[in-house]
A and B are shown apart, each in its own frame.
Chain A
Amino acid sequence: MTSTPRNRTGGRSALAAARFRGDPGHALTQASRVHERHWVTQCALARICGGCAMSLGRPIAFLGTPDEVARNAFHLPPMHTACAEELRRTPGADPTWQLVTTAGFEFVRPATEDLDREPRFEPNSLL
């Protein structure tokens, strides 16, 4: 693992920050780019894992709070199942995160009228 990734958007969104429990200084610093809009978009389009940056596999895993699972709208990038499991175990991870697997997803950019201002993922074939 190398340095904390560069964040050009100037910090985490309120939504992303709300998912963190505990001390954010120690929490998920290595993986903090999973909340960066650039990174999330790149993962979505280039079909790479938000954790390890390698090509995604099948199934595709998403981590989400019960609310995100209920809405079928996730904000963390797609991941390998193993990477998602590992992120879920990382100190500072949200203990309510659930792991969902799917074969595919829709990538939805935020619209002006959306309350949710972050790009989101809607799994389209849950497994």
Chain B
Amino acid sequence: MTTPKLVIDNVGKVFSTKSGKVTALDQTSFTVQEGEFVTILGPSGCGKSTILRVVAGLEEPTTGHVYLDGKEIHGPGPDRGMVFQSYTLYPWLTVKQNITFGLDLKGVPKKQQDEIAQHYLELIGLSGFDKHYPIQLSGGMKQRVAIARALANEPEILLMDEPFGALDAQTRAIMQEILLKVWEESKKTILFITHDVEESIFLGDSIYVMTARPGRLKKNIKVPLPRPRDYQNKSSEEFLALKLELLELIREESLKAVKP
């Protein structure tokens, strides 16, 4: 077995608030392999975003360490690309300028920026929209641009925090297929957070199920579905069996969250 791409080692997070200490995340350890698509599934408020923010370097963990390619993470950096749940495109930049935001910071020559932008615009199916402003795009299109913006920066790992959470069911299903296509093409390592059982199975090689707050890893499940996948996999027997198992696990935890 090769050394893992990402190592989460005993990471825990306690927030101090006016009304006392809140344990958002119990000590958690897991690894992500190079090129792997890992999904984290958990009920609302269990600390999913906290894990991702710690990996992104936006939040210091209270305990533990995060290692990317064997090097410890101490702050944010362009080696980790983040796609947020809320829309975070820059409204004053066009679609293309949004995609090249990180490249511009790195000082990549304009001509090369144009080529990279063109490549990712095609990949997300939005070529011809390069001069549009975010206000002119639908929610799904915005998130696709956000994915392109993160990928264009060529991060070592893509961190996605419920990027399709705000979309309707149909759009979300299509976005999942687009994301899989993009992933197969770019061979990126992806850590993807969701509270949607189907989404976690359809996208992931491996699913980590979390407990209700304070979040802990409850179970790791390898997804037995073949690759490449398309929407028809969602009605296969393995898929449905796994869905049932996960729904049961999540239901237990969600109930705990409602009446502790």
- Are A and B genuine complex partners? no
Residues of chain A whose beta carbon lies under 8 Å from any beta carbon of chain B: none
